[in-house]
Amino acid sequence: MSLVGKKAPLFRAPAVVNGGEIIEDFSLDQFLGKKYVVFFFYPLDFTFVCPTELLAFQELSGEFDKRGAVLVGCSVDSKFSHWAWLNTPKNKGGIEGVRYPIVADLSKSIASNYGVLAGDFAYTEDGLLDFTGEPQAYRGTFLIDKEGVVRHCVINDFPLGRNVFETLRMVDALIHVETHGEVCPANWNEGMDAMKETAEGVASYLAAH
C-alpha cells in the first residue's frame, strides 16, 4: 500500500553525517515542524548507478536547502560501508564530498516499513527463515512534509536511475500548494501559473493555456 497521505514510518538507526561522522541514533523526528524531508533509498554502496544519484543529490543540495528541505539517503549497507564509500574518491567509484546523512538499514526493517524492500522474509517447510528476492531496497524517494506526512513518493527498479530535478520540482510544488492554496497542473514548474481547485479555476486555467 502507498504511504502517500500517511505518517512516514519512524525509525532510529545508525547514520553517517557530514561525510564521515557516525551517529548511532539517527531519526527523522528531529526535522518535525522544521523541515521538509526528501528521504530516499538506493540499493547498495559501491555499485554503479547509485553513486551517480547520490552525487546528483549533493550537487543540488544547496537548492533543497534554500527551500527548507533536507536530504537523507538510506540503504541496507552498514554504517562502516557508508563511511568507507563516503571516503572513497569519485574517480575510484566513491561518493567523496557527499555531506547529507546516509542511514544504515542493516536489518532491512526501514526498507520493509517503507515498502521498498525487493523481497520478503518467510519460513520454509523445514521451519527455517529464508529470503526470497533481492535483499536490498528499490530506488524509492519519499517527500515528507513538516508534519511528518508523506506527500509524494516514486519507486524505481534497480536499473532505472531517478531524476533529481523532478524531486526538486515536487518540493517546489508542495511549497506552492501550502503557501498559495492553489493546485499545480501537469508539467508545472516554479514561476508558472497554478490554479484554484474549483470548476471556475480549472476553466480559467485551461482557457489561458
The range of the structural domain enclosing residue 30 comes to 13-161
Question: What is the chain's length?
Answer: 209
| Residue 122 phi, psi dihedral angles, 5° rounding | -155, 160
Residues 196 and 120 in one domain: no
Tell me: the pLDDT tens digits for 74-133? 999 999 999 999 999 999 999 999 999 999 999 999 999 999 999 988 898 899 989 999
Q: Determine contact, residues 102/15, Cβ cutoff 8 Å.
A: yes
Tell me: the pLDDT tens digits for 6-56? 999 999 999 999 999 999 999 999 999 999 999 999 999 999 999 999 999
Q: H helices of 89-184, where?
A: 109-113, 164-180
Amino acid at 3: L
* CATH code for position 66: 3.40.30.10
The catalytic residue positions are 50
Residues 148 and 99 in one domain: yes
Beta strands at 150-156 and 69-75: parallel, antiparallel or unpaired: unpaired
Name the pTM for this structure. Answer: 0.94
Beta strands at 102-104 and 69-75: parallel, antiparallel or unpaired: parallel
Residues 92 and 30 in one domain: yes
